[in-house]
Every structure is written in C-alpha cells, then in structure tokens.
Structure 1
Amino acid sequence: MPEAEIVEQATNAALSVGVLVVAGFLALGVHLLAVRGIFRLGRSDRFAQEATARAKWPARTTSILLGLLGGMLFTELPDGVTEGLTHTLLVLAIIGGTVTLMRLAVAVEVSILSGLDMDAEDNSWARGRTTRAILLRRISSALIIMVGVGSVLLTFETARTVGTSLLASAGILGLVVGVAAQSTLANIVAGIQIAVAEPIRIDDVVVVEGQWGNIEQLSLTYVVVRTWDRRRVVLPTSYFVSTPFENWSMYGQQIIGDVVWQLDHRVPMNAMRQEFHRMVDAHDLWDGDVAVLQVIEVTGPTVKVRGLVSAHNSHNAWDLRCALREGILVWLAEHHPYALPTTRLLEAAEDPSARRPTSPPPPPMRSPGPDDVPNPDPARTGEWPVVDR
C-alpha cells in the first residue's frame, strides 16, 4: 500500500474521531441546556426532581450516543467500519432510550404517589390514584421493553428477513400463541380492566375465598391479599373480574358492625340499652353515626340481642365490637347475673285426677290341702275316727 494512501487513511480516521468527539460534546451540551431549562421551569415540580435524579445518566448516555450516530454521517471511514460502528451505536442508543423511558415512567409514578395522603381518614381517592399509577406504570414499562427489544432485533438483517417471512403466517401464529397463553393474556387484560374500572384498589378491605384482608400488591397478572393474621393469599387478576367477591371499602371506609348476645328472657332491656349507649358514647372508635340495641329473635330458653355500631373503617369496627361484647358481659355478670343464659330443670306436679282407686292386694296363692276340706271323707282319706268305749 502506498505511503500516501496510508497517510490519507490515517488522516481521515483522525478527522472522523475528531468529528465524533465534537458531535458527542455538542449532543451532551444540548442535552444539559434542555434539562436545565426544563428544571428551571419546574424546579418545584416533583416529577422534574424525580426525573433528574433517576434518568440523568441514562439520558446523558443516550444523548451522546445519538450525537455520535449523527456524527457518523460526516466521517470518512472504510465502509465495513462505518457500517459496523453505526449499527453498534444504533443498538446502544435504542437500549439507552429504553432505559431512559423506563426511568421516566418510574419518576411519574413516584411523583404521583408522593402527593397522596394514604394515612387520611378517608383515603379512597388516594388509594384509587395509587392503584392506577402502579398499574399504568407496569403496563407502560412492559410496552417500552417490548418496543425496545423489537427495535433492537429489527436492526439486524436476519431478524428483518425472518420477520417479513412470518408476516404471511401471522394470523395462524397469533392464534396458536393466543390459545397457548390464554390464561396469561386473560390476566393481563384483567389487569388493564382493573386499572381502568378500579373494582379493587391498594389497601381495599376485601373478602375472597372466605378470607378477610387488604389488597397489598397489584400487578398485571396477580393480586396479593394480606389477611388479618398476616398471611398472603395470591390470586390471578382474572379472579376479580370473573368471580363475585366482597369489597368493604369500594366507595368509603365507613362500615357498620354487629354484636350479638344470647341472654335469658329476664334480661332488663332498658337498663342494658342505657349501658350500651353509655359504653358506645365513651369509646374513641365510635364515629358518632349508628348505635342501636334490639331484640331480634326469641329462641327457646334464650333471646337474641343485637347491637349495631358504626366506625370509620373495618379495623376500628372490629375492635369496637369486641370491646362492647366484653363490656356488656362484664356488666351483666356484676349487676344482672340472672340475665345470663340459664338451664332450667322443672319437676312436673302430680295430677290428682289421674289417680286410680286402690284395692286390697289378693291373698297369696297356694295349692289346696286336707286342711282346706271342712268334713273329710274317711273312705277317701284312709283315716277312721277314734271311738271311745
């Protein structure tokens, strides 16, 4: 190879490297200026802060890669080197953009959740926003990953050729995949329905499969319910759009609880009602709405007395019911012990009209003998009377 050609190639390579360096710095400078302007406009915005903290380095790296990719248009490198370097920069730029978008999605979720008060007395609105933010972030992350992986694959000639050849059989392939992944697709669709319709939300109080608990985690394919004894019940998301279940906090946290006592018929209802209202008024968990005491049923030797009380949420209602049940039992035992259930054994009185007249007992039965005959016949007995002469 002539020396002049070697010098020319080295010069072109050096100029190309310089062009790439300048393009990278220009892209980085434009990125920094844009980020600074956006940050100044929304300095107090939580999203701007979260985006800057989470997506800073992926965004900078992606900007530099895009700048290098643009600088490749002005370089004079051998064709093989140019093609390989351009393809590498393109793949890295797609990966960087995918990571940046996923970090921005997380920043949106965090900025939404940070402005919600989950400890409020009525946090229905906050729980709805939390549920929607979590599910939409997961949906968007899944879509971003799918688009990113597809874009990377399409940069390869082999993948483009295979994809074009599969277009003709896309309908059959989609049918086969749909049948094979029917349950998974059903759960994903159900997760989207939950995000839109909100039949359940984070921290909702539900009763599923006979288990009482709170919605702890929501995803596109499953839901985690935390029971009262800290166990976890994991259910597919399709369960909540196809199976009836109880949601105690769908439109509000307030709930009415009942307390039932089985008591004796002699229970002093007026005194018990006064004591019930006194206990309810003095308890901190009562919300001041509902407090009722009634006899609802008479069953054999006992009566069923039911008290209704309301509370701000189901947890308070449970504690209030337990306190009232115990307090009324203690009060009855101290002041009206006869009102507690009693088992009675009554002896029935004898009916005089049912008596029958008595008669003397019959004589004892025996076989008749000679003594029973008044004048025995000597011929029959073989005994002759003695005659004194």
Structure 2
Amino acid sequence: MLTISSAMAQWQALWPNWLTGFAVLAVVAFLLLFLHSVVMNALRLVLRGRLAEFASRLLKRIGPPTRLGVLVVGLGVTLQGLPERVVGHDLVEWGLLFGFIIFLGWGAITIVNTASEYYLRHALKGSEDSMLSRKILTQVRLLRRTIVFGLGFLTLAAILMTIPAVRQYGVSLFASAGVAGLAIGLAARPVLSNLIAGVQLAVTQPVRLGDEVLVESEFGTVEEIQTTYVVIRLWDLRRMVVPLSYFMEKPFQNWTRQSTSIIGAVHWYLDYSTPVEAVRARFLELLKESPLWNGDVAALQVTDAKEGTVELRGLMSAASSGAAFDLRCEIREKLIAWLQEIYPHALPRGRIEVENFPAYPPQGVGGRHH
C-alpha cells in the first residue's frame, strides 16, 4: 500500500514545481477573466439608464484595457504568493511589468479618445455656426492627436526602459556622449517642431478644417489636419501635403479666417463712348437676379483709363470662394452679351484718323523751272 509520503513524492515527480506554478497562474488568469466579464456585465445591467452619456461610452470602451489590468495585477499578486519561485520567474515578472505599462498607456488613451468624442458630440450638437464648428473640431482633433502621440511615446519609452540592455545603453549614451545626444536631438527636430506647431495651431488656429487657403500659389481647401502635416485639397482635386510647422513659420493666405463670404472682382475694357451709368444699372440688375450673390457688396467703378479703352471694375460678394468664382463668370458673360446687343459701339475699337493735306503747287507756278 502506498503511503501518503510516497504518493506526494510520485505527485512531485509527475508535476514538478514549475509546472505546478504555471498551472496555478493559468487557473488564476481564467478566474480573473471570468470575474472581469461578470463585473462588467453586471455594471452595464445595474447602471443602465443611470449613467451619464460619457460614463456609458467609457464603460463600453474601457473593457479591453481593464481586462489587461486585472490580469496583470492579479497574476502579479499570485506570483508573489507562490511558495517557491518557478522556472522563468524573472521573465514572468518582466512580462507582467510590461503588461502593466501597456495597461496604463492604453487606458489613458481610451479615456482621452472617449472624452474628446463626447465633447465634440455635445459641442457640435445643434450648432449652426460653421465657423465655430470648424474651430472646435480643429482644436479638439489636434489636441487629441497630440496627447495620444505623447502618451504613446511615453508608454514606449517606459517599456524600453524596463529592458536592462536598452536602459544601460541609453544611460551610458547620454552620460558619456553628449555629442551623440545632441545629434539625436537635431535629428528629431522636424518631428518635435511639428508637434509643437500642432499645439500652437490648435490654440491660435491660423488655419482650420474647411478653410480655403492660398499656399505656394496653390488655392485649395484644408481637408485634413494630422499630427505632423496638413492635407489641402486643390481646386483640381490634387492634394498638397504641407508640414504643420509651415503654417507657423511662413506667410499664407486664409480666405475664410473670419467668414466664408468673399468678394470677387471682374474687369471690362470698353470704349470711351460707353455709357457708364447704364452699364452700372445693368450690372446691379444682373446681381439681383443671380442666386449666387449674397447681397452684401455690389459696386461698379471706372478704375483706369488707357490709350484705347477705359477699365471698369465690378465688385460682388458671395457666400464662398466657389460661389464667388461662378458669380464672376456669370456676370462677366451676361454683361458682355448685353453690351453686344444694346451698346455694340461700347466694345473696344481701333480708330484711324486720316487728315487731308493741301496739294503741292504745280510746277512753274511760284516755283523754279528745270
């Protein structure tokens, strides 16, 4: 008959300590996952309809990072409570530390994303002011991306510092080689300058999403503002990609900085005999008939007088740059057609004036004979 001591000896022979330790950790991990699922479901059921919208959204998204956090903390406590160190104990501890750092970064990023989406949802709800909406959208998105990038960078740096080889290399590098550290700083300058420019742009907002800008002699609409660059959709559907730092260091034109409305100008070069008052009256009539005119600015003036023509400039306003361009084309075309029909003599003409000179006296009359 087997005694208890012999049975324990056989059990230890079949199940060594390291395998027992890992089995315990596996069972604890399963129980922790089950407990986390039960608690999260219970919270959703009990607090349904009682939570604010932000808390409800956060509860839906915080599940994966909190699951990782529960696993890391629970397994860490269990590992410290084992009677004997298992094989690879140090490696398991490092993995748990690694997971805990990821949990902190992941959870922080989830909270930032949820808070920004909640704020945008309520700030833009029922807002009819497009300028205010674009301002809020630009600020929140830029700040969110900058904060998420910073959190991701800090998380990665903390993970790397848990690796002894990397930590020792980094300490020795910056302690004994200041020149190398300066070189790394200079190499990272474009990235850092764009990140800083992103924060400045979010606060000061010289350019926003949807703004119509003139950059490097190219006109387009701001389509995307990313962490380090801006995408501008040009009028012919090309895309211009510009670093964020460009908008903080170089001049550019923002056609919708204060308002989306804009003034367009059309020039006509007509004959001096043109009845300006009649042309001005017809110009105003055409503007009133056009649905593109927003009713703010309408003026026609003689702005120059050249050798063969006079220059008439018509000013008109529209709700956007695209509408202003179409309005200019429409008024230019219709006024020319009206001039051709009613005042054709007002179109530019070339004049030649010939003077009659007296004939020379005939030979022999008051002249010399040859």
TM bucket (normalised to shorter chain) is 0.7 to 0.9
Q: Which moved more, 1:172-181 or 1:36-45?
A: 36-45
Residues 1:4 and 2:3 aligned together? no
Name the % identity.
32
**Cα distance, 1:64 vs structure 2:** 3.2
| Cα displacement string for residues 1-35 of structure 1 (whole angstroms, at most 9, x for unaligned residues) | 97535647669646665555444544555555667
What aligned pairs does 1:59-74 form with structure 2 within 5 A after superposition? 59-74=66-81
| Cα displacement string for residues 258-313 of structure 1 (whole angstroms, at most 9, x for unaligned residues) | 11111111212222122111111122122221111111111111111111111222
Q: Work out which of the residue numbers 183, 201, 204 in structure 2 matches 1:176.
A: 183
Where does structure 2 lack aligned partners over 5 or more consecutive residues? Answer: none
What amino acid sits opposite 1:317 in the alignment?
A
Query: Which whole-Å CA distance do the structure 1 matches of 2:243 and 2:53 have between them?
Result: 40
2:159 aligned partner: 152
2:105 aligned partner: 98
Pick closer, same or farther for the CA change 1:121–1:308 going to 2, 3 Å.
farther
Q: Which moved more, 1:32-41 or 1:94-103?
A: 32-41
What aligned pairs does 1:8-157 form with structure 2 within 5 A after superposition? 13=21, 18-29=27-38, 40-45=49-54, 48-49=56-57, 51-52=58-59, 54-115=61-122, 122-157=129-164
Pick closer, same or farther for the CA change 1:38–1:154 going to 2, 3 Å.
farther
Query: Which whole-Å CA distance do the structure 1 matches of 2:310 and 2:237 have between them?
Result: 36
Secondary structure at the counterpart of residue 134 of structure 1? helix
Matched length = 359
Query: Which whole-Å CA distance do the structure 2 matches of 1:40 and 1:66 have between them?
Result: 31
TM-score, normalised by the number of residues in structure 2: 0.83
2:266 aligned partner: 259
| Cα displacement string for residues 94-130 of structure 1 (whole angstroms, at most 9, x for unaligned residues) | 3344344444444344444445669987512111222
**Cα distance, 1:347 vs structure 2:** 1.5
Q: Work out which of the residue numbers 246, 253, 275 in structure 2 matches 1:268.
A: 275
Residues 1:345 and 2:352 aligned together? yes
Query: Which whole-Å CA distance do the structure 1 matches of 2:77 and 2:44 have between them?
Result: 20
Query: Which whole-Å CA distance do the structure 1 matches of 2:44 and 2:168 have between them?
Result: 39
**Cα distance, 1:196 vs structure 2:** 2.1
| Cα displacement string for residues 180-229 of structure 1 (whole angstroms, at most 9, x for unaligned residues) | 33333333332232122211111111111111111112223222211111
What aligned pairs does 1:188-267 form with structure 2 within 5 A after superposition? 188-267=195-274
Larger-Rg structure? 1
Q: Which moved more, 1:158-167 or 1:131-140?
A: 158-167
Question: Does structure 1 conserve the Cα–Cα contact (< 8 Å) formed by 2:363 and 2:369?
Answer: no
Question: Does structure 1 conserve the Cα–Cα contact (< 8 Å) formed by 2:292 and 2:323?
Answer: yes
1:280 aligned partner: 287
Where does structure 1 lack aligned partners over 5 or more consecutive residues? Answer: 365-389
Query: Which whole-Å CA distance do the structure 2 matches of 1:39 and 1:101 have between them?
Result: 24
Pick closer, same or farther for the CA change 1:317–1:23 going to 2, 3 Å.
same
Query: Which whole-Å CA distance do the structure 2 matches of 1:239 and 1:119 have between them?
Result: 34
1:377 aligned partner: none
2:362 aligned partner: 358
Q: Which moved more, 1:231-240 or 1:102-111?
A: 102-111
> Alignment RMSD, CA only?
3.3
**Cα distance, 1:325 vs structure 2:** 0.9
2:169 aligned partner: 162
